[in-house]
Structure formats: structure tokens, C-alpha cells
Chain A
């Protein structure tokens, strides 16, 4: 049979790009199929307007000027949930997003494009808590360390610098009695700078003789605060300050000259064959071109699914692969919450030597509090549109004024804020600091992805995504919210609001194709040989609460090595 590549990888996001680079370096021919567009590549001068080329396999195609013009840093242009450049939908923004079914109040935050969700991730790259891995996962934390180190070195991962909002957070955390940590593997509670996949600021950033525009074209973070809206700052695509995979791993993959990336290509089916010795095995994929609607088939020796925690199980189910009651199930998502404090200018002068927090300055999140067994808390600063809609509009509590408030509560308000009160909060935007809460939620079989056979998009039946928090997860989350409010209060916050985000906020989605249930410890599917998975879905759990991307990237590195040993040695 004519093969189109040795390995086909489905998805050029946080995991797929890593596997591609590792395989390419071993001399294995890789074809990545990506559903969305490719920003910063000369073969697609207008990636949202025209179909452009079919694929790109040369690092010479990458163009920083193009990336700068496309990553505008404007939050509506980039991050409008429905029509932003990072939205979950076809590159052609005249068309609707790909509809996904949430049966409850909430938000499913997927992204398309080369780089996937790492395009708008905050580059927070902590490791899993060893406590959440050892004697829980089929593999140990020690087994992961060399792969963590390799990814931390490649991205690279560095402790975030301190900017005003981090300084305020550290001040409050210390006053609240938490210890400073300086480890990659927290085993006890404490606060530390976020290990971020962001280059350290250029030394000339503080030199007023060089303009900020000039510095934005040099190597290093400029503290512009737009991590979540896409980072275009750097002298070339591969040296951009924030390190999503379209910046970090894809250029390295292209340099191997063994990797071809084909955007605008939606994989609709895994093709299998019955082999006399291996049994059922993956042989190829069926795809659909998102611009033309044309379909086709591509064949390879090994297939790697890296489409994310919703689309990988959906693809399995739509491909009619063998039944496995854990496919799509066991979903964790850190059961997020958000707590925001409002500060007085006088207090801020005393602590920071300036009258405002300016939450829009610095990395979107540069610090964290780790609490193995419970989860994490991260100070965070967003641009005003995202900040207002997520802080005051996104809740499971309804209007705050309709809630009974007890003076014993750790926060002054809970739920949605509207009217003049909203305007007043936003008028004080510059003096707010928010804390994001990531809960160490546990996998439950009831939570996850099923198919809606009646409602289809152009790629088949769409996924329905469900999540109900357990009593224990709710308790953990509330405790974290109290810790967050306490830190804000100790830092001097005069008013605190807990947003109480809906349990159906799907970001940091993990563990829907779990190791030990759907895939073995090499991340190869038990029931389909030569089918591997390299995204968050193989995590056995939510890794204790830390941001999942680094662990996915370490595992993808390991999976590439294992896969090469088994099928290409």
C-alpha cells in the first residue's frame, strides 16, 4: 500500500506538535493534520479569507511580520468565543463555529489552529504534583522526570518575573502565612513564581533609551500582558516570547525536514484493518478539507490522536472503534473558580509604591499557590472585556443581589454584577487583582463526552459534554476560594467577589481517554494497535490541579520515543 507518511498526527496543538518534533528528529516521516488555520506562515497570507496552500513543511515559510499582523492583541478579534481568530471553528470566519452541545450553563473553550489552545494559553507550565501520580497512575513521577526536563529545556520554562500584580500576591500570601517554594515538585503547600513557558524580559526593557516598539521586536517578554490574546513579540517566529507550540515545537519539527503540517484538514474517521498477527490496527484516516468540503483518505504505519479531550473520544466514537465504556469518560477540568479583590490606592502606594495594581501588566499569570491534595491558586490579570465578562457575567449563582449574604462569608459578593454596580467595579479595574482557582477534581465515570446522534456538524454527530462535581470536589474548591479570599484580604482588599464559575466551564480538560483504561502505559490504545494518543485525554486524572500542558508535552515526548521503539526500530 502507498503510505502518505510513517506517522499521521491528528492535531497540531499542545501535544501533537511535540510528538511530531520528537519523531521527526528520529528520521520518521510525519504528517500533521490540523483542523484550523496557520497564523504566521507565508503559504497562508490571508488564512481566514482564502484557502491558500495545502500544506507547509519548511521553516522558511514562517514569517514574524505576518504573525504580528494576525496576532493583533485585540481581545475581541482574537478571543471572541464565537468568531475570534482562536475560536473553535473553520478558518473561514464568515462561517459559524463548530457547534458543541453543553446541556447546562457553561462554556466549552476549545481552539483551532496550528498551536491549538496553546495559542491563547497563559504558558503556565508547572509539573504534575508527584502526589497525584505516584501509586495512582500506571507510571511513576520518576518515570516522567527526564521527559519533563527535556520539555522544560526545549520550550523553555523559566520562573516568571515579578510585576506589580505578582508583588501584591506574594505580599498577601506571605502575610497569610504561606511559605515560599522554589521547587519544581511541590510536596507541601506554598507560593512561588509560575514556571512559565515565556522567555525572560529583554535586559533593555527597563532602558528608556530603547522604545517599547523596538523592544517588542527583540528577544524576550515585554510584559505587555496579552498572553491570553496571542503573543506576537519577538525577532522571528521561533523566538517569540510566549512559547505555544506554533512558536516552540513546530519550527523545530520543520527543521528536521521530516514533518509536514496540513492545516484546514479535519479528521473525520480513523481507518482500521484486521491484521493476521496484530489484530485490529489503525491504518489511516479519513479527512475533510474545511474550505472545499472535499474528503479523502491518508495512510500511515501509525496514527496519533492529539485532537484534545473532546475531539479524540468523539473521533473514536464516530469511527466505530471497538466499544470501551471508558472512552470519553472520567473527564476532569479543575472545576475552576475566580475570586477578585478591589484595593484602595492608598494601601497600594504603601505596598507597591504605585497607586494601582494594573492587572493588564505582566504575564497573564506570573505567580501561583500550590496545595498538593487540594489544587492551585493563581493571581491573574486579563484585558477588560474578558475580565468583565468572566468576573461579573459568568456564574452559577445568578445575580449577587438576589443571594443571601452571610457576614461570615469570606467574600462580600457572590454571583453576577450588573447595572451601575458593574460600572463602578469596572471603573476600578486598574485596582483589581483576580485569583484563579484550579481544583484537584477526581475522575468520575458519569462525567465526559457522549455523542448526539441527531445533531451533526459537517464532520458527523457532535459531542455532548457533561460534568457534575462530587461533594468532595465542591469542598476542595470552596476551601481554595477561602484561601484566595484570605490572601486578597491580607493584601488589603477592601471588597471581594467570588464569581462561582459554572461547573460546565471546560478548559484544562483531561482524562477522557485514560491511561490504564483506554490506552496502555505507552499511550497506545488497548483495542486498536498502532493507534496512540498524545493529548490531555490520556492523563489518569487532573494531575492534582496544576495546568496540564507541560505534562501532556512530557508524555508526548515519551510516547514518541515508545512508538518509535515499537514500530520503527
Chain B
């Protein structure tokens, strides 16, 4: 694919190093090799569970990478950006004076980490979590892709302790299920639609979006993209309906 620098908005360049670091780690996880070093779950959790920018990003990178893995997976198309943007802009409700935006990405990342932590402490993991490659990521990032799906299953089957989830998810199993479905749909819709071809404008407000490059992914699907039409008339089975 093209050089990532070409499509990264300038305000994102400072996180590029972080992105590369996590991406390399995820690539390693996708191989069958066992991690060589891991901290105990308890030790790392105290460090990991504080909500931080890195922690949030890492959880969505891990999520996107699991749903559509490399090569040329959802992470290569920065679908984690898409998820964070939507989650942080999607909900607004009326406040005392005006409509207030309620960003949800950090809380949503946190429920992934809480589920991952619960999976790890339950011992029902297939691969030892790898905290070594990136100390800024949370437990969800440390899981192998298959174990991430197990953590997600705990959430959607309401097998996590709903009381420890942050609002608005606390004791709200329906909303948790709703967001889990939405996250998967976001990855797929973001990845297979024209979003990435918006290039440097893709994190701008929607009316500032511009198609900057051909959606190269569609070629691999043999999808020609938006079309003027197709010469595909094969006749009419019924010319006119009767009463």
C-alpha cells in the first residue's frame, strides 16, 4: 500500500510512532509464536487500567485488527481512527443550556479492557497475554485475536460484572450488546466503504470530506465502485401485472 504518511492528517503524526509500535506488536501476535515475556495480570492491570489516550487507541487498534487482520487489514486502513471518531461524536443530548456531546471512546475501550482482564484472571485464555511489547496498551491489546473474541463474548453474553463498567454501560447489558454489534459494523462499513479513500480529510467533519484517492480495496473485490450504470438488461419476466 502507499506510504501511510501520505494519508495521515498532520495532527496525527505525533501518534504515528505509537501506531507503528502497536501495529508491529499486533503483527507478532498474529503469528503463532508464544510471547517470550509477560507480566502477571495483577501487576500490569494497576498500570494499565487508568484511562489514557494510548490505552483507548490501543484497544480499538486491537479490535480492528482482530476483526479484519493484516495484511491490508482494518488496521492498515486506520479503522481504529474511524471507530474513535464515531464514538466521540455520535451521542449528544440536551444539557442545561444547549446540546452536549458525550464522547464514548474511552468508556468503550475500558469495557473491552475490563472484559479482557476478567478473561485473563479466569484463566480461560488460550494464549498467554503479551504485555511486553507495549506497556501503554491495556489487557485487551495483550490478548491474542482469538482471546479478544472470547473477551467480547463475555461482554455480549453479559458474563462480565456489569457493576464495574463505566457509565453509560454500567448495569446496562442492552447497551453493551448494542455497542458490541456497532463496533463490528463500524469496522466492516469503514473498511469496505470509501472511508479510507477520503485520505487526509477522513477525520474532518463530513462536509469537508474529499475523495483523494481511488479506493484500492474494491479492486480486490472486483467491485467497480459507484457507477453510471451497467448494460445488464436480461429482459422482463412480467411485462405488466394483472389485478
CB contacts (< 8 Å) of B230 on chain A: these are: 163, 212, 222-225, 358, 361-362
Tell me, rounded to whole Å, the shortest Cβ–Cβ distance linking A235 to chain B: 14
Stretch at the interface among A68-76, A434-442, A524-532: A68-76
Interface check A213, CB cutoff 8 A = yes
Q: Is the CB of B99 within 8 A of A457?
A: yes
Interface string of A520-538 (1 = CB under 8 A from B): 0000000000000000000
Stretch touching chain B among A180-188, A327-335, A478-486: A180-188
Closest residue of chain A to B236, judged by CB? Answer: A161
Interface string of B64-103 (1 = CB under 8 A from A): 0011110001000000000000100111111000010100
Q: Are B227 and A159 in contact (CB under 8 A)?
A: no
User: Per-position contact with A for B152-167: 1 when CB-CB < 8 Å, else 0?
Assistant: 0100110000000000
Contact of A392 (CB < 8 Å), options: B188, B190, B222: B188
- Hey, which chain B residues are within 8 Å of A49, CB to CB? 207
Knowing A99-B91, A104-B178, A393-B184, the reply to whether A384 touches B236 (Cβ < 8 A) is no
Interface centre among A195, A205, A388 (most CB of B within 10 A): A388
Tell me the smallest distance from the CB of A540 to a CB of chain B, in Å. 23
Chain B residues within an 8 Å CB radius of A362: 230, 232
Q: A430's contact among B181, B194, B221, by CB below 8 Å, is which?
A: B221
Question: Which of chain A's residues 204-225 have a Cβ closer than 8 Å to chain B?
Answer: 205-206, 208, 211-213, 215-216, 222-225
In the complex, what residues of A have CB within 8 A of residue B228's CB?
Answer: 211-213, 215-216, 222, 224, 233
- CB of B229 within 8 Å of the partner chain: yes
Chain A residues whose C-beta falls within 8 Å of the C-beta of B189 in the assembled complex: 75-76, 80, 385-386, 388-389, 393
CA distance A390 to B181 in the complex (A): 10
Q: How far is the CA of A227 from the CA of B185 in the complex (A)?
A: 21
A75 to B225, CA, bound (A): 10
Structural contact, B178 and A106, CB atoms closer than 8 A: yes
Contact A93 B241 (CB under 8 A): no
Do the beta carbons of A163 and B232 come within 8 Å of each other?
Answer: yes
A422 proximity list for chain B (CB < 8 A): 67-68, 188
Report Cα–Cα, A115/B32, bound state, in Å. Answer: 53
| Known A-B contacts A161-B233, A362-B232, A455-B93; A95 and B178 likewise in contact (beta carbons under 8 Å) | no
Assuming A161-B234, A163-B232, A215-B229, is B221 touching A99 (CB within 8 A)? no
> In the complex, A208→B105 CA distance in Å?
51
Q: At the interface with chain B, which of A2-10, A258-266, A316-324, A394-402?
A: A394-402
Task: Check A184 against B243 for contact (C-beta < 8 Å).
Answer: yes
Task: Verify if B18 is at the interface (C-beta below 8 Å from A).
Answer: no
A385 touches B192 (CB 8 A): yes
Question: Is A162 a contact partner of B91 (Cβ separation < 8 A)?
Answer: no
Neighbouring B residues of A402 by C-beta, 8 Å? 153
Total A-B pairs, Cβ < 8 A = 243
Contacts of A83 in B (CB 8 A): 86, 89, 206
In the bound complex, what is the Cα–Cα distance between A83 and B149 (angstroms)? 28
In the complex, whether A52 has a CB less than 8 A from a CB of chain B is no
Shortest Cβ gap from A138 to chain B (Å): 23
Hey, which chain B residues are within 8 Å of A183, CB to CB?
241-243
Q: Is A193 an interface residue (CB 8 A)?
A: yes
Instruction: Report the separation of the CA atoms of residues A318 and B93 in the bound assembly, to the nearest whole angstrom.
Output: 16
Interface residue? B193 (CB, 8 A): yes
List the A side residues contacting B101 at CB < 8 Å: 96
Instruction: Assess whether A249 is interfacial by the CB under 8 Å rule.
Output: no
Minimum distance in angstroms from A375 CB to a CB of chain B: 20
Which of A54-62, A413-421, A557-565 lines the interface with chain B? A413-421
Could you say which residues of chain A place their CB within 8 Å of the CB of B221?
384, 426-427, 429-430
Question: Do residues B235 and A394 form an inter-chain contact, with CB atoms below 8 A?
Answer: no
Indicate whether A66 reaches chain B with its CB closer than 8 angstroms: no
Q: Is B209 an interface residue (CB 8 A)?
A: yes
The answer to the question of A48 belonging to the interface, with a C-beta cut-off of 8 Å to chain B, is yes
Task: For residue A108, give the distance in angstroms from its CB to the closest CB of chain B.
Answer: 10
Q: A82 interface residue, CB < 8 Å from B? A: yes
A interface, size bucket: 35 or more
**Contacts A213-B228, A216-B228, A458-B99 known; A383 to B193 CB distance under 8 Å?**
yes
Q: Is A77 an interface residue (CB 8 A)?
A: yes
Interface: A271 (CB within 8 A): no
For B99, give the chain A residue with the smallest CB separation: A458
Task: Determine whether B14 belongs to the interface, using a CB cutoff of 8 Å to chain A.
Answer: no
Interface string of B199-237 (1 = CB under 8 A from A): 000000111010100000010111110111111111111
| Whole-angstrom CA separation of A457 from B188 in the bound complex | 29
Nearest opposing residue in chain A for B95, CB measure: A456
Q: How far is the CB of A371 from chain B (nearest CB, A)?
A: 17
* Chain A residue with the shortest CB-CB distance to B181: A105
The answer to whether B229 and A222 have CB atoms under 8 Å apart is yes
Contacting pair B233 A163 (CB below 8 A): yes
- Cβ of B234: which chain A residues have Cβ within 8 Å of it? 161-164, 166-167
Contacts known (A162-B235, A183-B242, A418-B66); A430 close to B206, Cβ less than 8 A? no
The smallest beta-carbon distance between B62 and chain A, in angstroms, is 13
Q: How far is the CA of A205 from the CA of B229 in the complex (A)?
A: 8
**A192 interface residue, CB < 8 Å from B?**
yes
Specify which of B86, B222, B231, B243 lies most central, judged by the most chain A CB atoms within 10 Å of its CB. B231
Q: Does chain A have a CB within 8 A of B17?
A: no
Mark interface residues in B115-130 (1 if CB within 8 Å of A CB, else 0): 0000000000000000
Please, which residues of chain A bring their CB within 8 A of the CB of B131? none
Q: Which B residues lie within 8 Å of A163 (CB)?
A: 230, 232-234
The docked-state distance in angstroms from the alpha carbon of A385 to that of B185 is 9
A251 to nearest B CB, angstroms? 23
- By the criterion CB–CB under 8 Å, are A399 and B149 in contact? yes
> Least Cβ distance of B210 to chain A in Å?
10
Beyond known contacts A105-B174, A205-B231: 13 more, CB 8 A cutoff: A49-B207, A75-B189, A93-B206, A96-B91, A102-B174, A105-B177, A166-B234, A223-B232, A361-B232, A389-B185, A393-B181, A418-B67, A422-B67
Task: Give 5 nearest A-B pairs by CB, closest first.
Answer: A222-B229, A385-B193, A96-B92, A73-B226, A212-B228
What are 9 sample pairs from A and B whose C-beta atoms fall under 8 A apart? A82-B89, A93-B207, A97-B90, A184-B242, A215-B228, A229-B226, A360-B224, A402-B153, A502-B181
